Structure 1
């Protein structure tokens, strides 16, 4: 995104995948994080850089527009070339949300995998 701001330190987590036999150990890794303390105009430019840059890095943008929240936040969902990973990126603008600071929320998620 080429942004300089503060980044949350949430760390990655794993969770069981739904729709699998309960005896199987099938998981997915998920890593949510955000960047904030950046002017909204710079965040909008970063979203545009993602629209241009993700396909150049082998990612397919599968959704691009606004989410279904009342604020209609800009939203991009992309999948890696082999579909091993997906990323969900949203720009949450404080002018539409009230007191919360503006931020770009990013969630990277793996495909389901069997534990060994």
Structure 2
């Protein structure tokens, strides 16, 4: 699975165990001030974005039914107490691998009109060199990595793999993220 660059949560320096960065440091580390947002609202938004990405592919198949879920924004809050991201890894199964090129071409042409800026469009740096698109939503700050895994090791079936990640959010005061 491809790591999504610049999401500002898990790939940058950490604050240290058991600590949450101060708001001024949060902005410095992430490059933005996280929006205060209810967890359920953020999860619902990511699920809706995933649905629009599926529609943009424009091919038949069966999406996995794993919903989006909140997790730690580890660059500033590794203990998951105040800041969080919403992650939604999913896949399109039972799609004809012959349609994968169509799906990727549809995404190339449709994502910009949906507010996405494509930052990578080319083969993966792997043995099979499967096509990959990485994009950031210019308004919301969500990141997505989409891989058309036509060729895979062993008996693994072809799939289109999608990893959608939100920017970091700040939970409203009084929110217990471990129960969100």
TM-score (norm. length: structure 2): 0.59
Q: Is 1:33 aligned to 2:90, yes or no? A: yes
Higher strand share: 1
Contact 2:59 2:102 in 1 (8 A): no
Q: Quote the offset at 1:17 in angstroms.
A: 0.9
2:131·2:147 contact (CA, 8 Å) conserved in 1?
A: yes
Show the 5 A alignment for 1:1-116.
1-20=57-76, 25-94=82-151, 96-116=152-172
Q: In 1, Cα distance between the equivalents of 2:127 and 2:73?
A: 29
Task: Look up the SS of the partner of 1:97 in the other structure.
Answer: coil
Aligned Cα root-mean-square deviation (Å): 1.7
When Rg is computed on C-alpha atoms for both structures, the one with the higher figure is: 2
The 1-side partners of 2:134 and 2:78 are apart by 29
Question: Which range moves more in the overlay, 65-74 or 54-63?
Answer: 65-74
TM-score, with normalisation over the residues of structure 1? 0.89
> Once the two structures are superposed, what CA deviation does each residue of 1:63-83 show, in whole Å capped at 9, x if it has no partner?
111222222221101111224
Higher helix proportion, which one?
2
The 3 A distance-change label for structure 1 pair 18 and 8 is same
Give yes or no for contact 2:100–2:150 (8 Å, CA) kept in 1.
Answer: no
Cα offset, 1:22, TM superposition: 5.8
Instruction: Note closer, same or farther for the CA distance 1:21–1:104 as it changes in structure 2 (3 Å cut).
Output: closer
Instruction: List runs of 5+ in structure 1 lacking aligned partners.
Output: none
Runs ≥4 residues deviating over 4 A: 21-24
Change (3 A) 1:45 1:112: same
Q: Tell me: CA distance 1:22–1:69, structure 2 relative to 1, closer, same or farther (3 Å).
A: closer
Question: Size of the alignment, in residue pairs?
Answer: 115
1:49 and 1:21 map into 2 onto residues whose CA distance is: 37
Q: 1:75-110 deviations in whole A, cap 9, x for unaligned?
A: 10111122421111001114x433111100011110
